[in-house]
């Protein structure tokens, strides 16, 4: 537990940048107003009016733009090793930087599964050569994600595992879940849980409801998620362990977590932009870019997620960015794999869908999008002097169509493809280095 | 009517009436010794069947042949599909033959709609997973109309495995579009949650069955009887089998076939004069001729590709 979590990325020069005249918004630092922001040698150096750029600094005109602490995504599939045709560390972290993220955590359901220290070490080594932004790697809870035998969690934690998850699959057995929570006392690190009861999900391809009845698709009922969440909250409480529920999709899950938390259970959770913005109505078209697990649910579920995000029952936004090859998604709905990409659209989608219509305060969205590392023990990015520079610069009024200029990701299976968005990331500074600059966004330099 | 027939939802009540009327005129041709008309001469129809089928495939085949179309049948077994070719590649390959229509049966919902995006041909859904089977619904309406001239207000009970039935889904939509009152009935484990939204009532017992004008029994598939959906075949038959005791003399009986004798239907009702099961099969050919005609030569055909003037079909 005392070991600090280290993320990996390729070596980059520390940035010295002066952003002039942007609205600086960091609710946690009590910051909201127009000012100049000076980043010197990779750290926030000064916030003030009419700051002078140091020699060699890059000068950014922030007129009309917002600067937030950059976002943290605790749930990304980088498909490496094994499916580098769908995503690799370079493309995945480029997509993350383009979405305004300064840190991400990758899931271990790769081929091979990240269930041993050698696999984890080689992945971290690759990240130190290829990753554009700091990247952490979760390891599996059970060997091969088969749900039977615990991985060598203590060694994996020593080798730098950011946490443990069998994401993509649930830990079916309550007994194995209990052992993992007991073992957490030794290994430390959070257990992040994909909650699903396979006997309730069956062959389900979408949410069980009116739309699945109409389409003749087998449905995944919301109890398939909420029932095992209740089980694992009970086990976590009994063992005094800590769990993080991934991609919460259903109203009853939000209520279950809220009750458990009120009773003192150490449980955190996340929700995705697609579950916060879309419902099973979208599946009527049988567009496979609306197929993911857990599935898009009903409007009452979606409203419960929004309420949870507002109240804090839902701690953070996670994209569950899940790239798939085009030919795999160009199949009938029941056959196509589950998962959608989301790194590049997360902020724009939530800004357009919740902030612009007045459903959610911008500051609250920034808080939830920056909180993804907290359950795992990562620091929250902040805009305050002395802090490492993790800054995203956003044009809140820029309109664009998702996919119009392609994607940084190697895959295009985005749930928001073709939608008009309002709000665009112009620049991302991740842990002191410029990780992304939008193509049309020119920078001036001070000679 | 649109260029494709993917769902009953694509059809207005007028479209349905027109197709049934057209089928009526083809029935007259079918009564002749030479049953062919030249309507689709020189045009190609492709049958792409990814699932076993007897009734649907043979009646579509006869329908295309009686309209003088050139027919190519591709079945998944023994074709490149069997070698792992994707649906998209198969459709694009077959589209190179410039077919006028592709008739597709697939185990997956939405397959016909996908195919319609990848080809210029008219696409006819001959069953997509558990989603829809629109030509079955049309032939059911046609069969019923021959017995009862007005379907308005007719009470239809669809009994059995609604969960896995594309026939039920298309039937609910088609019968209610024609003004019928539809009730679905079956074991609670085989009634999909939310099915009421299609415009039907739900019952889990046959207690109110006497109110029905038409009893439409669904096929109980072998693989659903293994104890996961119903405890046993015996229990299913005891609760839901339509037999001589349950079927009133004034009620008509339908079934999409093939029948499991002694499961969903007792032998005595299958062979009774109330049963329309054989007539349903007969209707299959003329209704599918009418659908092909509508899409390729009739009202719904794009202008400039009309093969025949819109007159009554003549024998070839």
What ipTM was assigned to the predicted interfaces of this complex? Answer: 0.89
Within-domain flag for B316:
no
Chain A residues touching B130 at Cβ < 8 A: 216-218
Q: For this structure, is A115 an active site residue?
A: no
Position B31 scores a pLDDT of 83
Partners of B166 on chain A (C-beta within 8 Å) are: 216
Q: Which residue has the tokens 């002066």?
A: A18
**Inter-chain CB proximity A214 and B197 less than 8 Å:** yes
pLDDT in tens, A5-29: 999 999 999 999 999 999 999 999 9
A102: left (phi over 0), alpha (psi -120 to 50) or beta: alpha
Give the pLDDT confidence of A381-390 residue by residue, as tens digits. Answer: 999 999 999 9
Residue B3 belongs to a domain: no
Average pLDDT, chain B: 91
- Same domain? B105 vs B145: no
Q: For residue A2, what pLDDT band results from cuts at 50, 70 and 90?
A: very low
| Contact call for A330 and B86, based on CB within 8 A | yes
A341 by DSSP, 3-state: which?
Answer: strand
The confidence score (pLDDT) of residue B316 equals 46
CA A30 to centroid of chain Cα atoms? 24
Statement to judge: residues B156 and B214 lie in one domain: yes
CA distances from B246 to A282, B125, B208, B251 (A): 42, 34, 10, 10
* Statement to judge: residues B275 and B145 lie in one domain: yes
For residues A227-254, give the mean pLDDT: 98
A210 touches chain B (CB under 8 A): yes
Tens of pLDDT, residue by residue over A168-182, are 999 999 999 999 999
- Of residues B87, B88, B130, nearest to A216 (C-beta): B130
| Same domain (yes/no): B142, B174 | yes
Report, as an integer, the average pLDDT of A276-289. 97
Residue range A396-425, pLDDT digits in tens: 999 999 999 999 999 999 999 999 999 999
- Of the candidates A301, A320, A395, A431, the residue annotated as catalytic is A320
Instruction: Calculate mean pLDDT across residues A419-447.
Output: 86
Q: What is the mean pLDDT of chain A?
A: 96
Domain boundaries, position B182 = 135-279
Q: Could you report the per-residue pLDDT of B243-265, keeping only the tens digit for each?
A: 999 999 999 999 999 999 999 99
Whether B155 and B198 share a structural domain: yes
In this predicted structure, the answer to whether residue B80 has a pLDDT above a threshold of 70 is no
Give A101's strand partners: A71
Same domain, yes or no: B237 and B159: yes
Query: Two tokens at A388?
Result: 């490492």
User: What is the per-residue pLDDT for A93?
Assistant: 98
Q: Is the pLDDT of residue A113 over 90?
A: yes
Look at residue B310 and tell me whether its pLDDT is greater than 50.
no
pLDDT band at residue A446 using 50, 70 and 90 as cut-offs: low
Say if residues B243 and B217 touch (Cβ distance below 8 Å): no
If asked whether residues B139 and B128 sit together in one domain, one would say: no
φ, ψ (nearest 5 deg) of residue A343: -60, -45
Is the CB of B106 less than 8 angstroms away from the CB of A211?
no
C-alpha gyration radius of chain A: 21
B119 shares its domain with B20:
yes
Tell me the chain B residues in contact with residue A331 when contact means C-beta distances shorter than 8 Å: 86-88, 114
**How much is the pLDDT for A324?**
98
**Cα separation, B47 vs B292, whole angstroms:** 12
Q: Is the Cβ–Cβ distance between A131 and A90 less than 8 Å?
A: yes
Q: Given this model, what pLDDT does residue B30 score?
A: 83
Assigned CATH for A68-376: 3.20.20.140
Interchain pair B192, A335: CB under 8 A? no
As for how many domains chain B has, the answer is 2
Distances from the Cα of A266 to the Cα of A244, A446, B79, angstroms: 8, 50, 56
Map residue A194 onto helix, strand or coil. Answer: coil
| A216 with B129: Cβ contact below 8 A | yes
Tokens of A235: 């086990």
B8 to chain A, closest Cα gap in Å: 12
| Extents of the domains making up chain A | 68-376
In this predicted structure, what is the pLDDT of residue A444?
60
CATH code, B32: 3.40.50.1370
Which among B133, B76, B145, B155 has a CA at the least distance from the CA of B256? B133
Chain A nearest-CA distance from B30, in A, is 35
Interface of A with B in 299-328 (CB under 8 A): 327
Interface of B with A (CB under 8 A): 86-88, 106, 108-111, 113-114, 128-132, 165-166, 169, 192-195, 197-198
- In which residue are the tokens 């005094």 written? A240
**Whether B195 and A330 lie within 8 Å, measured CB to CB:** no
Does residue B306 lie in a domain region? no
Torsion sign over Cα B117, B68, B13, B173: negative
Higher-confidence position of B1 and A204: A204
Q: Say whether both B140 and B263 belong to one domain.
A: yes
pLDDT value for B76: 78
- Mean pLDDT, to the nearest integer, of A139-145? 98
Question: Which tens digits make up the pLDDT trace of A144-154?
Answer: 999 999 999 99
Q: Which of B84, B106, B192, B200 has the highest number of chain A CBs within 10 A, making it the mutation to test binding with A?
A: B192
Burial class (CB in 10 A: 0-12, 13-18, 19+), A43: middle
Q: Among residues of chain A, what percentage have pLDDT more than 90? A: 97
Chain A residues within 8 A of B86 when measuring between CB atoms: 327, 330-331
pLDDT of residue A277: 98
Q: Does some domain include residue B23?
A: yes
Partner-chain contact B86 A210, CB within 8 Å: no
Q: What is the pLDDT of residue A443?
A: 60
Quick: pLDDT tens for A331-363. Answer: 999 999 999 999 999 999 999 999 999 999 999
Q: 3-state SS of chain B?
A: CCCCECCHHHCCHHHHHHHHHHHHHHHHHHCCCCCCCCCCCCCEEEEEECCCCCHHHHHHHHHHHHCCCEEEEEECCCCHHHHCCCHHHHHHHHHCCCCCEEEEEECCCCHHHHHHHHCCCEEEEEEECCCECHHHHHHHHHHHHHHCCCCCCCEEEEECCCCCCHHHHHHHHHHHHCCCEEEEECCHHHCCCCHHHHCCEEECCCCCHHHCCEEEECCCCHHHCCCCCCCCHHHHHHHHCECCCCCCCCCEEECCCCCCECCCECHHHHCCCCECHHHHHHHHHHHHHHHHHHHHCCCCCCCCCCCCCCCCCCCC
Take residue B257 and report the two structure tokens written for it. 């076939």
Do residues B233 and B256 both lie within one domain? yes
Neighbouring C-beta atoms of residue A229, cutoff 10 Å: 27
Distance between first and last Cα of chain A:
47
Q: Are residues B100 and B168 in the same domain?
A: no
pLDDT of B191-221, one tens digit each?
A: 999 999 999 999 999 999 999 999 999 999 7
% of chain A exceeding 70 in pLDDT:
98
Assess whether pLDDT exceeds 70 at residue B299: no
Separation in Å, CA of B19 to nearest CA in chain A: 24
Half-sphere exposure in the Cβ direction for A281 (13 Å, CA): 8
Q: Indicate which of A216, A282, A330 best probes the interface with B, i.e. most B CBs within 10 Å of its own CB.
A: A216
Pairing of strands A31-40, A17-26: antiparallel
Buried b (16+ CB within 10 A) or exposed e, A291-324: bbbbbbbbeebbebbbebbbeebbbbbbbbbbbb
Q: Work out the pLDDT band at A66, boundaries 50, 70, 90.
A: very high
User: Which chain B residues are closer than 8 Å to A290 by Cβ?
Assistant: none
Nearest CA in chain A to B164: A216
Whether A372 contacts A247, CB under 8 Å: no
Residues of chain A with Cβ-Cβ distance to B114 below 8 Å are 286, 330-332
> Which chain B residues contact residue A212 at CB under 8 A?
192-194
The residue among A215, A332, A333, A335 with the most chain B CBs within 10 A of its CB, best to mutate, is A332
B103: which residues sit within 8 A by CB, 6+ positions away? B45, B46, B47, B48, B60, B64, B123, B124, B126
What mean pLDDT comes out for the span B130-148? 97
Cβ within 8 Å, pair B198-A221? no
β-sheet bridge partners, residue A40? A43
Chain B hits for A208, CB-CB cut-off 8 Å, are 192-194
CA gyration radius, chain B: 19
CB contact under 8 A, A216 and B113: no
pLDDT given for residue A130 in this prediction:
97
Closest approach of A280 to chain B, Cα-based (Å): 13
Query: Contact A332/B109, CB-based, under 8 Å?
Result: yes
Which one-letter DSSP state was computed for residue A126?
H
Longest dimension (CA), chain A: 66
Which range has the worst mean pLDDT, A322-331, B101-110, B221-230, B280-289?
B221-230
Cis peptide before B258 (omega within 30 of 0): yes
pLDDT band at A427; cut points 50, 70, 90: very high
């Amino acid at each position: 537990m005392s070991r600090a979590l280290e993320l990996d990325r390729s070596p980059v020069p520390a940035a010295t940048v002066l952003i002039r005249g942007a609205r600086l918004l960091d609710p946690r630092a009590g910051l909201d107003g127009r000012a100049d922001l000076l980043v010197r040698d990779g750290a926030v150096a000064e916030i003030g009016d009419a700051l002078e750029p140091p020699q060699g600094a890059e000068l950014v005109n922030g007129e009309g733009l917002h600067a937030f602490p950059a976002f943290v995504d605790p749930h990304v599939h980088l498909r490496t090793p094994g499916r580098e045709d769908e995503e690799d560390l370079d493309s995945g972290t480029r997509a993350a930087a383009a979405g305004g993220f300064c840190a991400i955590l990758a899931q271990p359901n790769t081929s091979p599964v990240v269930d041993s220290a050698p696999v984890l070490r080689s992945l971290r080594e690759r990240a130190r050569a290829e990753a554009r932004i700091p990247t952490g790697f979760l390891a599996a809870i059970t060997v091969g994600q088969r749900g039977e035998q615990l991985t060598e969690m203590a060694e994996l934690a020593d080798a730098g595992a950011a946490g443990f998850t069998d994401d993509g699959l649930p830990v079916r057995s309550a007994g194995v879940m209990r052992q993992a929570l007991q073992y957490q006392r030794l290994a430390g690190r959070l257990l992040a849980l994909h909650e699903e009861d396979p006997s309730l999900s069956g062959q389900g391809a979408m949410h069980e409801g009116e739309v699945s009845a109409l389409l003749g698709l087998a449905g995944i009922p919301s109890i398939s998620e909420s029932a095992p969440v209740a089980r694992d909250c009970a086990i976590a409480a009994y063992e005094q362990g800590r769990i993080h529920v991934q991609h919460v999709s259903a109203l009853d899950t939000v209520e279950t977590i809220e009750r458990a938390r009120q009773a003192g259970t150490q449980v955190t959770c996340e929700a995705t932009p697609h579950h916060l913005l879309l419902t099973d109505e979208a599946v009527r078209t049988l567009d496979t870019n609306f197929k993911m697990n857990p599935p898009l649910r009903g409007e009452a579920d979606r409203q419960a997620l929004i309420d949870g995000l507002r109240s804090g029952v839902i701690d953070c936004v996670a994209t569950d960015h899940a790239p798939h090859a085009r030919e795999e998604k160009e199949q009938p709905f029941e056959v196509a794999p589950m998962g959608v990409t989301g790194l590049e659209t997360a902020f724009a989608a939530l800004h357009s869908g919740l902030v612009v219509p007045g459903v959610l305060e911008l500051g609250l969205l920034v808080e939830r999008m920056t909180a993804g590392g907290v359950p795992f023990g990562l620091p929250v990015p902040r805009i305050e002097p002395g802090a490492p520079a993790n800054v995203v610069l956003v044009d809140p009024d820029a309109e664009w169509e998702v996919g119009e200029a392609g994607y940084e990701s190697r895959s295009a299976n985005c749930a928001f493809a073709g939608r008009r968005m309002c709000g665009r990331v112009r620049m991302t500074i991740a842990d002191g280095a410029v990780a992304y600059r939008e193509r049309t966004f020119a920078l001036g330099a001070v000679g | 009517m649109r260029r494709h027939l993917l769902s009953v939802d694509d059809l207005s009540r007028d479209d349905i009436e027109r197709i049934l009327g057209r089928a009526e005129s083809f029935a007259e041709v079918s009564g002749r010794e030479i049953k062919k008309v030249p309507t689709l001469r020189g045009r190609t129809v492709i049958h792409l069947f990814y699932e076993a089928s007897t009734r649907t495939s043979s009646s579509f085949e006869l329908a295309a042949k009686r309209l003088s179309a050139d027919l190519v049948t591709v079945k998944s077994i023994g074709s490149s599909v069997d070698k792992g070719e994707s649906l998209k590649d198969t459709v694009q390959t077959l589209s190179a033959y410039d077919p006028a229509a592709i008739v597709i049966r697939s185990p997956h919902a939405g397959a016909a709609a996908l195919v319609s995006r990848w080809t210029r041909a008219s696409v006819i859904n001959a069953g997509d997973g558990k989603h829809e089977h629109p030509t079955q619904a049309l032939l059911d309406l046609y069969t019923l109309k021959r017995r009862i001239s007005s379907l308005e207000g007719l009470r239809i009970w669809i009994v059995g495995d609604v969960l896995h039935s594309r026939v039920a889904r298309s039937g609910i939509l088609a019968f209610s579009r024609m003004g019928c009152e539809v009730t679905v009935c079956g074991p609670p484990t085989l009634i999909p949650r939310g099915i009421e939204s299609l415009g039907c009532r739900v019952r889990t017992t046959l207690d109110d069955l006497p109110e029905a004008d038409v009893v439409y029994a669904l096929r109980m598939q072998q693989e659903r009887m293994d104890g996961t959906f119903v405890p046993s075949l015996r229990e299913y038959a005891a609760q839901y089998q339509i037999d001589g005791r349950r079927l009133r003399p004034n009620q008509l009986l339908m079934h999409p076939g093939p029948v499991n004798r002694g499961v969903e239907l007792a032998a005595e009702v299958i062979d009774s004069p109330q049963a329309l099961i054989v007539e349903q099969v007969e209707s299959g050919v003329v209704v599918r001729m009418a659908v092909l005609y509508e899409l390729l030569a009739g009202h719904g055909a794009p202008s400039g590709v009309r093969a025949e003037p819109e007159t009554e079909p003549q024998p070839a």
